[in-house]
Structure 1
Amino acid sequence: MASTVASLLPPLLVHGRQSHAVTMHSFPLSPLFERRNHTAFVVKASGDSSESSTTLTVFKTVQNVWDKPEDRLGLIGLGFSAVVAVWASANLITAVDKLPIIPTALELIGILFTAWFTYRYLLFKPDREELFRILNKSVSDILGQ
C-alpha cells in the first residue's frame, strides 16, 4: 500500500518519534508494519542512481572489451587475477587472525584510533566544521572541481 508523505499530516510518527517531514512531498512510502504508536516506513528512491549508472558503464566497458577477440585473453586473465587476489587476501586475514597477539593488538589500535578521531573531530562543533572542510577539499581534489 503506497502512499505519499503529502497525504500524511505532520508530525509523522516514524519509529516511535515525531518527525516533521515538510520537505518530502512526493516520495513513495510503503509501510513495513504498523503497531500501536509505532509505524515504520521504507522510502524508495525513484530515478537513476549514480551506482546503477556506474555499474552499467562498467558492464558496457567489459562488453566492449569482450567483443574484441584479441582482448578476451587479457580480460579472462584479469578476472582470474581478481579471484586469486580475493582468495589470497581471505587466507592472509585468516592466518593473521590465528596468531595469538596480533588480532588483540590491532583491535586495541582500532579502539584507540576511534577514541582519538572522536575526540579530535566529532565532539566539538568547530572541529566538525574543520572535518567537513577537509572532506570537501579532498573530494574536490579527487574529482578535479
Structure 2
Amino acid sequence: MASTTTPSLSLSSSSTLVDGKTTRQSAAVASSQCVTLPTLPPRPAVQSRAARTTAYCRKIARNVAAMATSTGEVATADATAETATTELPSELVQKIQEVWDKVDDKYAVSSLGVAAFILLWSSTGVISAIDRLPLIPGVLELVGIGYTGWFAYKNLIFKPDREALIAKIKELYKDILGSS
C-alpha cells in the first residue's frame, strides 16, 4: 500500500497490483482519512409513454361510462369494452349501409368522395408550402386578424346589423336546401 502524506492533506491509495491489473479494495479496508462520495439513490420507476396513455384512456372510459349510466356508477371495464366494440360499430355500419343503398348514382358519389380527398390532400400540401415561406404566414395572419375585426365591426356589434346577417344566413340556407 502506498501512502502520500502532506502536512495539511492526507491521501490514501487502496489499490493493489494483482496479475498486472489494479483492483480496488473495499471501503471498509480504506483508512479513515479517505473521502468517499455517497451512493446515488436508485433510479425512479419511469412509466413508458404507452403505459401512461393506456392509463389515461382507461380513466376517460370510466368517466364516460359513469356519465352514461343514470345513477353515475361506473360499469365494469369488460361491459364497457363489450358495449363499445359490439353496439356502436354495428349500428354505425348499419346506418352507413342504409344510406348507401338509398344512393342512386353510386359511381358519381364515389368519384366525388375521391375528388374531395385529393383536393383536401393537395390543399394541405399548398398550405404547408406557403407556411414555409419567410414572410407570407405573418402577413396572411395579419390579413386574417384585420378581416375578422372588420367583419365583427360591420356585422356583429350593432343589433340591426346582426339581424341582417342572420336573415342573410337563413336565406342562403333556404336557397341551398330548398324551402322547408
- Which structure would you say has the larger Rg? 2
Q: Which protein is richer in strand relative to its size?
A: 1
Bin the TM-score by the shorter chain.
Answer: 0.3 to 0.5
